[in-house]
Amino acid sequence: MSVSNFLQGESYMSSTSRSLLAGVIGGLVGTAVKVTIEHFLPVRKIEQRSAQIKIVDDLSTKITGTPISVQNEALAEQLVNIPMGASLGAAYGYGKKGRYGLKPMDGVIFGATTWATTHETSLPILGLEAKPTNIPVRMQLNELFAHVAFGITTEYVRHKVDENLRG
């Protein structure tokens, strides 16, 4: 059996594999859109380090004994963004398994929920970001917008990839 025949099938394994793959690709493209938006719309103060950099910096310090260099911060940030976007996309794709058709509102909900569960709750609880009450509203709205764009893009790309894989 070829890979294309496998992905076009309607067995549980074929449907699951197709959904996960479409979700991963959607999540990666969505992450690229989110990162691009954040490049143009400020989501934190200039001197403030992102949660991603703090995570990689802490890991680097534990492994090598030295923090990451300033010139490697952009790369370090993507070392968290890319796998996070891919895994969120995979989970989203799996959740959409067997549900055909483009549903942009699902992407809006996915992006907004991702924002709320990270930037508004877990990252402040973990001490990786300031409390939402200490972040300017404009920056919070920029972050929310970037996450909603991530969600809509993930949905659109997931839908197109799934459609193409089904044949």
The string of DSSP letters for 83-110 reads HHHHHHHHHHHHHTTT--S--HHHHHHH
From CA 75, how far away is CA 124, in angstroms rounded? 23
From CA 50, how far away is CA 146, in angstroms rounded? 15
The string of DSSP letters for 134-166 reads GS-HHHHHHHHHHHHHHHHHHHHHHHHHHHHHH
pTM of the model: 0.91
| 154 pLDDT higher than 70 | yes
- Residue 112: name the closest of 155, 59, 65 by CA: 155
For the chain, what are the domain ranges? 11-47+82-166
Helix axes 73-95 and 51-64, enclosed angle (nearest 10): 110
Neighbours of 27 (CB within 10 A): 29
162 within 8 A of 22, measured Cβ to Cβ: yes
- What does the pLDDT read at residue 40? 95
Mean pLDDT of 40-54: 88
Q: In percent, how much of the chain has pLDDT > 90? A: 74
* pLDDT tens digits, one per residue of 88-141: 999 999 999 988 899 999 999 999 999 999 999 999 999 999 999 999 999 999
- What does the pLDDT read at residue 74? 87
